[in-house]
Structure 1
């Protein structure tokens, strides 16, 4: 399959695959719409929140009073990447030119995706989702096109995508609907097209096309005296090329089966990911020691290599540094139960172990009132043979400590008594799992913390850790994963979630 990005409107951060968006102009070559389309709507999820004030993430089309159609990848930004399930904080605004006012607003209480990136062949050509609304809307629905439009067929495209490339500039996010009239091109005009299931729509040079945050929007064709939806925006067709749309007509049976209630797929079984904290490119967990008091500021645990800014130097530690970092603590389904703020980096090192501790602006008692999960920090080391559960933000991986390695070296750093995982399909970490808690059998104790795996099979280089035995023998195995001990942290912490490296039993880097 060809590599391709998505015309996303939703910030990713929690899902196992992170697909980059390609910023471009909204409905390139288009103009502001002069009248509203009753069936056209804006999908506005609160989590993950789009990077714009109006909360627009993707386009939707009303197919029935309680059903709207959009791109599958728009609904795929649920915390665990589920195919079918119940969202939280999703809504649509339909029948308005404006994303912030007018029309009708309805909550989304269910989503169904035709395909996911985990399916064989991925979801290209099947990038569709149906969203069920909790209350009916009065908007007049649009019907599905009766057949795949032929090359040269005139179509109308529309959406609220970006008008310039700077995602930090609010002016790049139009609140008023834009549209353009264009044609269906041969698939060869879209270099990244799949051979079946997709439509290539726009001008051949890309001067008229859909773009970033137009995902889910329609390709409309005239049938009789009205519009019919033939395609849904999925992704770019290539540089300076038309846009790719999923051919809706190929999946009419799937759409009609769900809307009619005759063929509704079951919800996915959602793994319990309570307590996982999603950080930029890493994961964390909130922990307390046996000595922690309810009125102490809570502590966030992650890897030393996950700190913002400069990492600790080999042989050194960062101590008592200012910090500003959001800490969204997940509920069982992965949605934020509460979002705290890290205001101090208490400690971070990548020598001896690979850990970082942040102090939060919220106490343990306050988190308890909010129902947030707080884990206990282990006071004993992990031993070979111990069963561990890796608490990632979208899944729980089941690992076994195959061995405790004397020394682990990677890119100039060395950690001691590292935990090597036994090879298993149930324990296959990937980038982004760094900092995930490794839970003991009770599910409440952080026994260790995941920190690395060997990507390429190289020896002792960045992203390729190697083991150094007591006799100096060096080995490296591609794909092998490792965690770090955390039991030594408790001896260095005092009341008030303060660090004291001078304590007698404290053996962290920088102590003594």
Structure 2
């Protein structure tokens, strides 16, 4: 069973015309699309407790994270229109803000085969209005240590809206344990997170969503096995602390 990129809070499968890369829909590392996929072992988030969460849609759904009123960070294989202030996809709550994407900046070293450098910055066509339901998440000043408790969130769906945003607590896994779980596949730009002896994981449809640790962005949902939340197979995230300079330089220069 081979790893594949996440699309629901367990990989997304999207053609992108910006930057390096090709259509990823048939890539063997991407998780298969299943209507029931969602964060495993999670619970409904307190409404708008994750105000930096971004819903990326049309035609395939991903997650993202708000960095500033004009910038969203997601996975390198996600793109399209975005919506902020969402909690329940099935209800209009009056807090939603929808924006188009003016420009997309995929990391220049993104590798669609290994999913190394799996990041995408989206410049919105106009700034969002910050509110109780829409807030940016801070970039990290240092990398999270193993054992740090973090929160991953997503709507846990690729093709059919599931409703409420789902949250789950996971722990940063030591790098050596992460590498043993996926021999030859984990690069220094990736981190693993999960819960030992519990079925807690992101899954298809959650790609690009945030892994927040102490209210800073430490990870972006990237990839995992086709079957989510298997024992000894934690979720794999892009290690955001390695990219702070690239993120800030891209935002400041555009």
Assess same fold via TM > 0.5: yes
Residues 323-352 of structure 1: per-residue CA shift (max 9 Å, x gap): xxxxxxxxxxxxxxxxxxxxxxxxxxxxxx
Please identify runs of 4+ aligned residues in structure 1 that moved more than 4 A. Answer: 9-17
- Corresponding position of 2:217: 229
Residues 437-474 of structure 1: per-residue CA shift (max 9 Å, x gap): xxxxxxxxxxxxxxxxxxxxxxxxxxxxxxxxxxxxxx
In structure 2, distance between residues paired with 1:13 and 1:113 = 13
Change (3 A) 1:129 1:123: farther
Residues 352-392 of structure 1: per-residue CA shift (max 9 Å, x gap): xxxxxxxxxxxxxxxxxxxxxxxxxxxxxxxxxxxxxxxxx
Change (3 A) 1:257 1:231: same
Does residue 32 of structure 2 align to residue 32 of structure 1? no
TM-score when normalising by structure 1 = 0.41
Q: Write the mapping of 1:101-500 to structure 2, written as runs, cut at 5 A.
A: 101=92, 102-114=95-107, 115-117=109-111, 122=113, 124-139=115-130, 140-162=135-157, 170=160, 173-187=161-175, 188-189=177-178, 191-192=181-182, 193-205=185-197, 207-222=199-214, 227-236=215-224, 240=230, 241-261=233-253
In structure 2, distance between residues paired with 1:182 and 1:10 = 21
Residue among 77, 83, 87 paired with 1:97: 87
Does residue 68 of structure 2 align to residue 64 of structure 1? yes
Tell me if the contact between 1:217 and 1:233 (Cα under 8 Å) persists in the aligned partners. Answer: yes
What is the alpha-carbon root mean square deviation over aligned residues? 2.6
In structure 2, distance between residues paired with 1:11 and 1:186 = 28
Tell me if the contact between 2:51 and 2:136 (Cα under 8 Å) persists in the aligned partners. Answer: yes
Tell me if the contact between 1:29 and 1:180 (Cα under 8 Å) persists in the aligned partners. Answer: yes
Change (3 A) 1:67 1:13: closer
User: Which runs of no fewer than 5 residues in structure 1 stay unpaired?
Assistant: 51-56, 76-89, 265-512
TM-score when normalising by structure 2 = 0.79
Q: Write the mapping of 1:67-86 to structure 2, written as runs, cut at 5 A.
A: 67-75=71-79
Once the 2 structures are TM-superposed, how far is the Cα of residue 161 of structure 1 from its aligned partner? Answer: 1.3
Higher relative CO (Cα under 8 Å, sequence separation at least 6) belongs to 2
Once the 2 structures are TM-superposed, how far is the Cα of residue 105 of structure 1 from its aligned partner? Answer: 1.0
Residue among 44, 49, 52 paired with 2:57: 44
SS of equivalent residue, structure 1 residue 73: coil
In structure 2, distance between residues paired with 1:177 and 1:238 = 22
Structure with bigger gyration radius: 1
Once the 2 structures are TM-superposed, how far is the Cα of residue 97 of structure 1 from its aligned partner? Answer: 0.6
In structure 1, distance between residues paired with 2:189 and 2:15 = 28
In structure 2, distance between residues paired with 1:10 and 1:152 = 27
Change (3 A) 1:206 1:5: farther
Does residue 31 of structure 2 align to residue 21 of structure 1? yes
Tell me if the contact between 1:206 and 1:242 (Cα under 8 Å) persists in the aligned partners. Answer: no
SS of equivalent residue, structure 2 residue 77: helix
Once the 2 structures are TM-superposed, how far is the Cα of residue 99 of structure 1 from its aligned partner? Answer: 3.1
Once the 2 structures are TM-superposed, how far is the Cα of residue 63 of structure 1 from its aligned partner? Answer: 0.4
Paired residues, what number? Answer: 224
In structure 2, distance between residues paired with 1:213 and 1:228 = 22
Tell me if the contact between 2:12 and 2:204 (Cα under 8 Å) persists in the aligned partners. Answer: no
